[in-house]
């Protein structure tokens, strides 16, 4: 594919706009749980299941929609996914009951995994080979900016004008993203996937692909084992007031942006060192947080470092899985890896909660550190397996 250099920033920003909207709709509900629960007559814990339902929608929807759209041009796939996203958020805004809101959230989530999976492939086609990881990082910048700007703004809007207004606003963001993608993403960068979806599924059974997906699950389980319980860790261990949480979380968001960019740039130069280095950094941060959270100054450093380490892993892991697929089934492998991130989120939240319930807050960070340590082990096994195969080829 050939694309004029001047068009690259616009096309990548178009993908990033879609990623921003998806990031807002995924995370903004965390700040609206109480309002939604009161409006629909359910408990806050029941409203919290809307987050779990979304994650489940990502895990299930990513492979289903990727296979279903395998014969479509990739640009068409991205536009169709944004249409689903717009319709899903409009349905959330109109939902009269908790059950219908849950269904609308799951439908909206179906667009998530495939958008980032196919979007990652499209992004790498828009740049020279030596900038593939940075292109993926630019795409995922939409998620990081959504955490810093979109979620606080969406929460404020929901508190001022009602939670339904937030979903209408997100639907409007989706409409803008759809328009920009339609105008800016080049059609010649959207070649159809091979039609043999069974062959694509066989690609997922390759040992390097499976080990790459496992590494992603384990790495991100470590992140969310801590981040899910960051509020009690900061208030009960570090001694911050509840009113200080929002400003502190801006440090986390800033770390996400910087880590995302750094991970992409390092992976452009040397992919596997970036994979091992980012996971090792995440392990070191989680181990250090056990001590850092005992003081307020240390906690601030730990929160920023956690954000940096968390997203420094994203572009390297995403490109590694895509590279292991080696062309055939690349979009499906890419989408499965997005599902793997979300599966890791769910596992990490459960593991952190189990540690909190049985051993107390002090055990959460140590429990979290087990996961990147396991991810490093799996990545090492995958690398040695590949090296042995190449040596005897």
Among 177, 193, 209, the domain boundary falls at 193
Residue 152: exposed, middle, or buried by beta-carbon count in 10 A (0-12, 13-18, 19+)?
middle
Domain CATH code at residue 105? 1.20.1250.20
The predicted pLDDT at position 7 comes to 44
Residues 314 and 341 in one domain: yes
Say how far apart CA 273 and CA 32 lie, in whole Å: 40
Residues 154 and 248 in one domain: no
Same domain, 240 and 365: yes
> What is the per-residue pLDDT for 199?
62
Q: Does residue 48 share a domain with residue 2?
A: yes
- Rounded distance, CA 61 to CA 50, Å? 16
Q: Is residue 176 located within the same domain as residue 279?
A: no
pLDDT score of 123 = 86
Q: Are residues 156 and 122 in the same domain?
A: yes
Which of 193, 208, 231 is the endpoint of a domain?
193
What is the crossing angle of helices 271-292 and 245-269, to 10°?
Answer: 160
- Does 150 lie in the same domain as 124? yes
How many helices (H) and strands (E) in the chain? Answer: 17, 0
Residues 214, 291 within the same domain: yes
- Helix locations, 2-147, DSSP H: 8-27, 33-40, 44-68, 74-94, 98-125, 132-145
Structure tokens at 216: 């992603």
Residue where one domain finishes, among candidates 193, 213, 237: 193
Q: How far apart are CA 72 and CA 29, in angstroms?
A: 32
* Dihedral class, residue 329 (left if φ above 0, else alpha if ψ from -120 to 50, else beta): left
Residue 44: what pLDDT? 67
The pair of three-digit structure tokens given for residue 226, joined into one six-digit string: 């801590």
C-alpha dist (Å) from residue 8 to 31, 126, 178, 315, 349? 35, 6, 17, 18, 37
Total of domains in the chain: 2
Sign for the pseudo-dihedral over CA of 275, 276, 279, 285: negative
pLDDT reported for residue 193: 46
Give the sign of the dihedral formed by CA 350, CA 20, CA 181, CA 174.
positive
pLDDT by position in tens, the chain (length 393): 434 444 445 778 888 888 998 888 887 887 777 788 889 988 766 777 787 788 888 888 888 887 888 778 888 889 999 999 999 999 999 999 999 999 999 999 988 888 888 888 888 888 888 888 888 888 888 888 887 887 778 878 888 888 999 999 999 999 998 998 888 887 754 445 455 556 666 767 778 888 999 999 999 999 988 887 887 888 888 888 877 877 887 888 889 989 999 999 999 888 999 999 999 999 999 999 989 999 999 999 999 999 999 999 998 998 898 888 765 567 778 888 888 888 888 888 888 888 888 888 889 999 999 999 999 999 999 887 666 555 444
Query: Using CA atoms, how far apart are residues 264 and 314, in angstroms rounded to an integer?
Result: 8
What's the pLDDT at 1?
41
| pLDDT score, position 200 | 63
- Same structural domain for residues 279 and 153? no
What sign does the dihedral 157-158-159-161 (CA atoms) show?
Answer: positive
The pair of structure tokens assigned to 333 is 């492998």
Residue 190 is predicted with a pLDDT of: 43
Sign of the CA dihedral running 351, 355, 357, 358: positive
Widest CA span in the chain: 65
| Residue of 358, 371, 367 whose CA lies nearest to 216 | 371
Residues 221 and 351 in one domain: yes
Q: CA nearest 178: which of 325, 17, 327, 54?
A: 17
Same-domain check for residues 188 and 198: no
Distance CA 141, CA 254 (A): 11
pLDDT at 393: 44
Nearest to 307 by CA among 256, 346, 366, 268: 256
Are 252 and 307 in contact by the 8 Å Cβ rule? The answer is: yes
Given a contact cutoff of 8 angstroms between Cβ atoms, the answer to whether 269 and 323 are in contact is: no
Give the domain range for residue 2: 1-193
For position 222, what pLDDT does the model report? 93
> Are 338 and 58 a contacting pair, CB within 8 Å?
yes
Q: Do 186 and 210 share a structural domain?
A: no
pTM of the full structure: 0.78
């Amino acid at each position: 594919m050939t694309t004029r250099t001047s068009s690259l920033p616009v096309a990548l920003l178009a993908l990033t706009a879609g990623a921003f909207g998806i990031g807002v709709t995924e995370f903004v509900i965390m700040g609206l749980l109480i309002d939604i629960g009161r409006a629909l007559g359910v408990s806050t814990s029941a409203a919290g299941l809307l987050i779990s339902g979304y994650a489940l929608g990502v895990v299930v929807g990513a492979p289903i929609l990727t296979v279903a759209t395998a014969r479509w041009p990739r640009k068409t796939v991205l536009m169709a996914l944004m249409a689903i996203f717009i319709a899903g958020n409009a349905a959330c805004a109109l939902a009269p009951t908790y059950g219908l809101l849950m269904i609308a959230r799951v439908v909206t989530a179906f667009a998530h995994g495939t958008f980032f999976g196919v979007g990652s492939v499209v992004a790498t086609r828009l740049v020279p080979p030596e900038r593939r990881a940075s292109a993926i990082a630019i795409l995922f910048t939409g998620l990081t900016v959504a955490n810093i700007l979109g979620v606080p703004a969406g929460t404020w809007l929901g508190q001022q004008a009602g939670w339904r207004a937030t979903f209408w606003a997100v639907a409007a963001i989706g409409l803008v993203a759809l328009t920009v993608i339609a105008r800016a993403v080049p059609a010649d960068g959207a070649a159809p996937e091979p039609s043999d979806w069974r062959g694509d599924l066989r690609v997922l059974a390759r040992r390097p692909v499976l080990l790459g997906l496992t590494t992603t699950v384990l790495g991100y389980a470590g992140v969310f084992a801590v981040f899910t319980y960051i509020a009690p860790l900061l208030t009960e261990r570090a001694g911050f007031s509840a009113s200080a949480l929002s400003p502190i979380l801006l440090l986390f968001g800033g770390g996400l942006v910087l880590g995302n960019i750094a991970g992409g740039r390092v992976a452009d130069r040397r992919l596997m060192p970036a994979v091992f280095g980012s996971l090792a950094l995440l392990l070191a941060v989680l181990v250090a947080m056990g001590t850092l959270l005992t003081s307020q100054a240390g906690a601030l450093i730990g929160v920023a470092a956690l954000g940096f380490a968390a997203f420094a892993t994203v572009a390297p892991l995403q490109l590694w899985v895509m590279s292991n697929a080696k062309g055939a089934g690349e979009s499906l492998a890419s989408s499965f890896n997005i599902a793997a991130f979300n599966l890791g989120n769910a596992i990490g939240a459960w593991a952190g909660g189990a540690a909190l319930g049985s051993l107390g807050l002090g055990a959460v960070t140590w429990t979290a550190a087990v996961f990147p340590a396991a991810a490093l082990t799996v990545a090492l096994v995958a690398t040695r397996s590949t090296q042995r195969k190449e040596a005897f080829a």
